[in-house]
Structure 1
Amino acid sequence: MQTHLSPEFAGTADGQDAEAILRKCVHCGFCTATCPTYQLLGDELDGPRGRIYLIKQVLEGEQPTGKTQLHLDRCLTCRNCESTCPSGVQYGHLVDIGRRIVEAKVPRGAGEQALRWSLKEGLTSPLFGPAMKLGQAVRGLLPGVLKAKVPAAQPAGRWPTRSHARKVLMLAGCVQPSMAPNINAATARVLDAAGIQALLAPAAGCCGAVKFHLNDQAGGLEQMRRNVDAWWPWVERGEIEAIVMNASGCGVTVREYGHHLKHDPQYADKAARISGLTRDLSELLPAIAGALQGKVRAPEGVLAYHPPCTLQHGQKLRGGVETHLQALGFDVRVAPNEAHLCCGSAGTYSVLHPDIAGQLRDRKLGHLGALAPRAVLSANIGCITHLQSGTATPVRHWVEVLDEAIVAA
């Protein structure tokens, strides 16, 4: 794609990065076939190719409008288009640049600003935990829309106390400890059963994705730097072999710390090292499955698995969860239709665009429900919460089911 950047962006870091991405695009349109919003809305500007043109126009000097902003906002950032693109266009990075530029040029209304501020500050605040507990205490009295965002309270679960030679760091996350605390404890127990000790760095917090994708990119970068600082002593001492993520939305973000902080001379090298050490929990499954052979009693019945976009498209990790759980005796199945499509959660998207998110959720649940599962499994807290809001079938993290199946020694 030929580009003629305006003087405002020519020679800048954003301009150079965007131009390199734009010039890979050959207008083929393969991306539109796998874009969830294009499939639902049928508008070229609500597909990757159309959004690329909008960003290109802004970079070439055209003034963006509220309509430009809306089409960019409607993107789920599922990155399915990246998996489809034959030219390797890094659409996710381009839309980050485009959104940041448009955000600075197109003011939002007061109500929209307040909602977005509440999400980016509230979800990452230390007060989120107490607020969630209060919501769970009165959950039965909440209206349906709000109740769907407040999962029933669950016990945190026991944290293992054994020490092992193999050690990994875990990110607790910002919302997961409050919304589904058993996921982290189950992760630690499964790792412990496989001879791996899970450690937490108390100073590490939100991965930065919430603020970054709500266009507070400066705030997101600060959270990334804080996590790098929190983890660096363990890395520098060589005490851990990996930084393990059990929420794929966090995982794809931390894997890209090196990209996001590449222009920061103080953090570029450290961030690249952190990204290189980051592993999704499913990447440890070969070792875990080997260590647990003969120690697992898999439950009867079908378990439907929804691979999150942040896992299969963002991190390019496919097939690992179902393959290794099947090897341990679980009847895990992926829906034969549209397994590549987003469920509509996409971080805060389900709050900002509930109609589109709801359509995608129901479409996804229809395919998963066709498997008549005893439970639906996934690998990201956002997907789990969003899917659960539309079905009575239990929706859980796969590690919780594996944890429960381990036979006590």
Structure 2
Amino acid sequence: MQTQIAPQYRADPLVGEAESILRDCVHCGFCNATCPTYRILGDEQDGPRGRIYLIKALLAGEQTTETTRLHLDRCLGCRACETTCPSGVRYGRLLEIGRHLQNQALPRPPRAALERRLLRYVVTEPKRFRAALGLGRVFKPLLKASLARTLPPLPAESPDSARSEVAVASSAGRRVLHLDGCVQSVATPATRAALARILQRLGVDLRSAPTATCCGALSLHLDAWDEARALMRGNIDAWWPYLEDGAQAILVSASGCGSVVKDYGHYLEDDPAYAAKAARIAEIACDPSQWLARELGARSIPGIARGRIAFHAPCSLQHGQRLAGVVEGILTRLGYQLSEIGDAELCCGSAGSYSLLQPQLAAQLRRNKLDRLEKDEPKRIATANVGCQLYLAQEARVPVVHWLELVDEALVDVGTP
């Protein structure tokens, strides 16, 4: 795709990166077939190809409007189009740049900007998020029903899930790190607890760096790039002593966070103090499914029938990290019967902050997803990302759990493999 760059943008390296991405696009439109918002709205500007043209016009210096922002904001950032694209267009990165330039050319109205700032302030720090969630549950009877449904349960903190100080000390055993994160550490601590027990059975010590916090995804997606990079640097500083002490990997059990951590090298490549460390972090970060597929693959595990489940593969797992089928393979090997899911490549509507900022579209996507997940009457729905888990659970007719909880249950039944 040929692009005319406006004079005011020609020296901007971000625009150079965007232009390079645009050159790969051949206008084929295959991306629209797997775009959740295009399939619902049927508007070319609410599909990847149309949004690419909007960004191209912005780079050419055409006046941007709130209508342009509307169509860019409606994008989930699910990256299903990247999986579909035969030309390898890095649409997700192009969208980040497009939104960033849009906000520079036409700042958001004060109320919308404040809404996003408060969202980042509350969610990215676990103590603030826990306090806000606690207040929300106290005043739940006074809230609108639609808002009250968005409040997840507030589990009690436990020794398995609490973010306590962990000393860096040498040990003869194998060690890996875990990113406890912000929302997951508060709302679904059972995920980390299950992973710790699984790894313990495999002879691996799971540790958390107490000063590590939000991965930066929410700030990045809401165009607070400096804030996102500051969170990334803080996590690198928190993890580095553990890596020097022999930690073999950083496991990120929220797949949305994992997609971002694996890109730390890209986001900090122009930072001379952190570029090399960020590249190293990105290299050793992995989803637990990657680690367990290797660990369990070399072990004999008795097959026991465990009933039917439906697995929802988050967009961040199948499109962001390109790990489609890995979790499903592990669960099948452990005896779970997996339902076949129609349109499995489509987003559930959670998409980070999307369900809060675009509630009507998100709710329609969730209903479509749950219709497919619950079609064969599974006993439970499993997923790999805390956002998907919490959002689906609001309306699901069966329990929604993290897939690591199912692995933990299975390994208890068969004993240490």
1:59-98 → structure 2 map (5 Å cutoff):
59-98=59-98
Equivalent position of 1:406 in the other structure: 411
* Cα root mean square deviation, aligned: 2.0
Q: Which amino acid aligns with 1:212?
A: L
Match of 2:271, SS state, is: coil
Q: Which amino acid aligns with 2:147?
A: L
Match of 1:265, SS state, is: coil
Q: Distance in 2 between matches of 1:380 and 1:141?
A: 30
Which shows bigger deviation, 45-54 or 130-139? 130-139
Note if contact 2:370-2:392 (Cα within 8 Å) is conserved in structure 1: yes
Note if contact 1:194-1:287 (Cα within 8 Å) is conserved in structure 2: no
Q: Distance in 2 between matches of 1:279 and 1:138?
A: 39
Note if contact 2:350-2:362 (Cα within 8 Å) is conserved in structure 1: yes
Q: CA deviation at 1:156?
A: 4.8
Count of matched residue pairs: 405
Match of 2:57, SS state, is: helix
Q: Distance in 2 between matches of 1:68 and 1:192?
A: 51
Q: Distance in 1 between matches of 2:76 and 2:331?
A: 29
Q: Distance in 2 between matches of 1:213 and 1:58?
A: 19
Q: CA deviation at 1:114?
A: 2.3
- Asked if 1:244 is matched to 2:268, the reply is no
Q: CA deviation at 1:6?
A: 1.5
Which shows bigger deviation, 399-408 or 251-260? 399-408
Note if contact 1:139-1:147 (Cα within 8 Å) is conserved in structure 2: yes
Which shows bigger deviation, 89-98 or 286-295? 286-295
Q: CA deviation at 1:330?
A: 1.5
- Asked if 1:354 is matched to 2:359, the reply is yes
Q: Distance in 2 between matches of 1:298 and 1:201?
A: 37
Note if contact 1:155-1:182 (Cα within 8 Å) is conserved in structure 2: no
Equivalent position of 2:4 in the other structure: 4
- Asked if 1:321 is matched to 2:327, the reply is yes
- Asked if 1:203 is matched to 2:208, the reply is no
Equivalent position of 2:191 in the other structure: 183
Q: Which amino acid aligns with 2:10?
A: A
Note if contact 1:375-1:396 (Cα within 8 Å) is conserved in structure 2: yes
Which shows bigger deviation, 397-406 or 48-57? 397-406
Which shows bigger deviation, 152-161 or 247-256? 152-161
Note if contact 2:381-2:399 (Cα within 8 Å) is conserved in structure 1: yes
Q: Distance in 2 between matches of 1:366 and 1:64?
A: 38
Gaps of 5+ in 2: none
Q: Deviations over 1:293-326 (max 9, x none)?
A: 4478663x21100000000000111101111111
Gaps of 5+ in 1: none
Q: Deviations over 1:205-256 (max 9, x none)?
A: 1000111101111111111111111112222x25111110100000000011
Q: Distance in 1 between matches of 2:134 and 2:191?
A: 17
1:13-24 → structure 2 map (5 Å cutoff):
13-24=13-24
Q: Distance in 2 between matches of 1:354 and 1:149?
A: 10
Q: Distance in 1 between matches of 2:257 and 2:130?
A: 18
Which shows bigger deviation, 76-85 or 383-392? 383-392
Report the TM-score, using the length of structure 2 for normalisation: 0.92
Equivalent position of 1:269 in the other structure: 276
- Asked if 1:106 is matched to 2:111, the reply is no
Q: Distance in 1 between matches of 2:47 and 2:266?
A: 24
Note if contact 1:31-1:49 (Cα within 8 Å) is conserved in structure 2: yes
Change (3 A) 1:259 1:121: same
Change (3 A) 1:343 1:21: same
Q: Deviations over 1:307-365 (max 9, x none)?
A: 00000000111101111111111123341x10000000000000000000000000000
Q: Distance in 2 between matches of 1:292 and 1:183?
A: 23
Q: Deviations over 1:89-111 (max 9, x none)?
A: 00011110011111112132233
- Asked if 1:51 is matched to 2:51, the reply is yes
Q: Which amino acid aligns with 2:76?
A: L
Which shows bigger deviation, 168-177 or 6-15? 6-15
Match of 1:303, SS state, is: strand
Note if contact 1:159-1:189 (Cα within 8 Å) is conserved in structure 2: no
Which shows bigger deviation, 357-366 or 173-182? 173-182
Match of 1:8, SS state, is: helix
Change (3 A) 1:293 1:164: farther
Q: Distance in 1 between matches of 2:70 and 2:248?
A: 42
- Asked if 1:387 is matched to 2:392, the reply is yes
Q: Deviations over 1:168-191 (max 9, x none)?
A: 111010111111111111111111
Change (3 A) 1:247 1:15: same
Q: Percent identity?
A: 47
Note if contact 1:293-1:328 (Cα within 8 Å) is conserved in structure 2: no
Q: CA deviation at 1:203?
A: 1.2
Note if contact 2:155-2:186 (Cα within 8 Å) is conserved in structure 1: no
Q: CA deviation at 1:292?
A: 6.7
Q: CA deviation at 1:16?
A: 1.4
Equivalent position of 2:239 in the other structure: 231
Match of 1:127, SS state, is: helix
Match of 2:205, SS state, is: strand
Equivalent position of 2:264 in the other structure: 257
Equivalent position of 1:333 in the other structure: 339
Which shows bigger deviation, 398-407 or 49-58? 398-407
Report the TM-score, using the length of structure 1 for normalisation: 0.94
